[in-house]
Chain A
């Protein structure tokens, strides 16, 4: 299943553990993302203005095109019936658009594009014991298939339930999630969804500029928006940011605090590796902790 040999795996795991403990010595109170995961001040992001999105789903189509997923005919994306049930990103679609009623304008629905939020303190990065996930300098959180061992902790850890697993595939199933079009942006292109969006619901830019832009919009059009930039502080901040005229929780966004989600799991997990507790025991323990953390999140939501 995994491309990695057992020896290599242990080596990486030990390295990840060691560096992380090094970090926690420097900052004992809060564990940061692993050191190779730089948080550049110039990191990019996307501001999603849901009040202008028309639900054309061209972003879904373009995303599939860019990732060699079967995309189908562009006209088939006009089918209104798609919105009948709420969808989640999965291994066949890295982003999906859902439809919600708008609070202050009953006849104009709000459409909401969902994908990986590219967290600044990504839980998936912390949860991954082999360092298959990393936060890149440009803000993207990407997954490296050559390191993945298929444990799927990332799926459990993600506060937005983003990473998907190719359950259908028997041979080399992959973790699938939006990669912020890492390959495209490396070439100087825009993310495929940003590029195609007819109304520019998705504004691509430096995260700091996007926050400024969002604040400006909130100030100028207080009637149009709920006074909230989702992602500005949630789980330590995310690269993708949202503006909306609806309550975010009413659009299936989880209610999250400003504390990074991976904080707990990370220090414990890396701590374990520092003391070389056998992987089996570690798996059981970590699984339990994940479960508790998740349930804690849930009860906070209620």
Chain B
């Protein structure tokens, strides 16, 4: 009997805990107290800290995996002025990529499922908890915060049709039309040359945008974290903004590059595209050309003293363990017998000459000690 009770207790406790500390929750790099007021929040009583909270907790998802279109008709019957909104969710998800991503709208969303707005924002405007806007206010604030910035049109009809008589017109843009709308592909610049007249020793900074994405493999959002729609879509002329601080100006580059040596970026002439061979003396061919920079350069900013010695990155090897095939040459029977150093006299980064054993005309690369496969 006792064991049964004990088992029941264990079961009960684990059920409660299983609910309260979800798998995903425990992985969050935030203090529980950011969202929960009590020590042991449960599903039934999550004791949430009122919004707005100091920290944003959110989920991340690919726009492709998100719903195409969402129909907002929560206020049916509550107001007879306007009809429902057909919201092109996926289009907006794509657009948000460079301006904070999902978090732009889905703030304070613990990992797991996306919680809908109505889970936090009350439908009734007359309510006890006024710390966060009601549902209607929340929707409108989200939409209009951006819309009013890139367009002066805050007219109700740009999102929902006015109801003249109950049951009459449908929204201007139908669901299927909305579904098809996607953000046109953003055309990426190749090169940008910034004038930095303030710095006399080098008044030009050449920035190869394409290298950073294609060569260094950065995502758009690695740098563009907080762009507003208005950055591209503003209908107004750009106004001169106040000069940002030195730190702010260098912030983006400095997140990867060492900015101590000004002249490495500020030059008197436009710089040619990056060439690993010219810049370092180590030409990237075959295998190395395909690698991402960070495969060898493990830490950004500081140069760790990498040189051309293979053992910088590769495990030391011996003739027994090394499969010569990976170099593109399968050694013939005779040559497999030698020690590595018999041919690679100086270093592995220098191609071997064969004159230690052979006549000059039988030397590499005219003659190959086996079969070339690449």
Q: Which residues of A contact B (CB under 8 A)?
A: 52, 54-56, 74-75, 78, 105-108, 188-190, 194-195, 197-200, 203-205, 209-210, 213, 216-217, 220
List 23 A-B pairs, Cβ < 8 Å.
A52-B141, A54-B140, A54-B154, A55-B154, A56-B156, A74-B81, A75-B162, A105-B149, A107-B236, A108-B148, A188-B126, A190-B126, A194-B125, A198-B137, A199-B144, A200-B133, A200-B138, A200-B140, A200-B141, A203-B130, A203-B133, A220-B52, A220-B54
B236→A190 contact, CB < 8 A: no
Nearest CB in chain B: distance from A15 CB, A: 37
For residue A204, which residues in chain B have a CB less than 8 angstroms away from its CB?
A: 125-126, 130
For residue B327, which residues in chain A have a CB less than 8 angstroms away from its CB?
A: none
With A56-B154, A216-B131 in contact, is A198–B136 under 8 Å at CB?
yes
B154→A106 contact, CB < 8 A: no
B137→A199 contact, CB < 8 A: yes
Closest to A52 in B: B141
With A55-B154, A108-B148, A108-B149 in contact, is A200–B126 under 8 Å at CB?
no
A213→B130 contact, CB < 8 A: yes
Contact of A200 among B54, B136, B148 (CB under 8 A): B136
Nearest CB in chain A: distance from B176 CB, A: 27
In the complex, how many residues of chain B place their beta carbon closer than 8 angstroms to a beta carbon of chain A? 26
A199→B141 contact, CB < 8 A: yes
For residue B144, which residues in chain A have a CB less than 8 angstroms away from its CB?
A: 52, 54, 199
For residue B137, which residues in chain A have a CB less than 8 angstroms away from its CB?
A: 197-200
Cα-based distance from A213 to B125 in the complex (angstroms) = 16
Interface residues of B in 308-340 (CB under 8 A from A): none
Q: Which residues of B contact A (CB under 8 A)?
A: 52, 54, 81, 125-126, 130-131, 133-134, 136-138, 140-141, 144-145, 148-149, 154-156, 162, 230, 234, 236, 239
Cα-based distance from A106 to B234 in the complex (angstroms) = 12
Cα-based distance from A108 to B52 in the complex (angstroms) = 23
Cα-based distance from A167 to B148 in the complex (angstroms) = 39
Closest to B54 in A: A220
For residue A188, which residues in chain B have a CB less than 8 angstroms away from its CB?
A: 126
- Best-surrounded residue of A78, A108, A189, A209 (most CB of chain B within 10 A): A108
Cα-based distance from A188 to B124 in the complex (angstroms) = 13
Nearest CB in chain B: distance from A202 CB, A: 9
For residue B236, which residues in chain A have a CB less than 8 angstroms away from its CB?
A: 107
Cα-based distance from A48 to B136 in the complex (angstroms) = 16
Cα-based distance from A277 to B301 in the complex (angstroms) = 87
B125→A190 contact, CB < 8 A: yes
Nearest CB in chain A: distance from B206 CB, A: 32
Closest to B130 in A: A205
Cα-based distance from A195 to B134 in the complex (angstroms) = 11
With A107-B234, A199-B144, A200-B141 in contact, is A213–B156 under 8 Å at CB?
no
- Best-surrounded residue of B136, B140, B230 (most CB of chain A within 10 A): B140
B134→A200 contact, CB < 8 A: yes
Closest to A54 in B: B154
For residue A198, which residues in chain B have a CB less than 8 angstroms away from its CB?
A: 136-137, 140, 156
Nearest CB in chain B: distance from A134 CB, A: 24
For residue B230, which residues in chain A have a CB less than 8 angstroms away from its CB?
A: 107
List 20 extra interface pairs beyond A78-B155, A220-B52, CB under 8 A: A52-B141, A54-B144, A55-B154, A56-B156, A105-B149, A107-B149, A107-B239, A188-B126, A189-B126, A190-B126, A194-B125, A198-B137, A198-B140, A199-B133, A199-B144, A200-B133, A200-B137, A209-B130, A217-B52, A220-B54
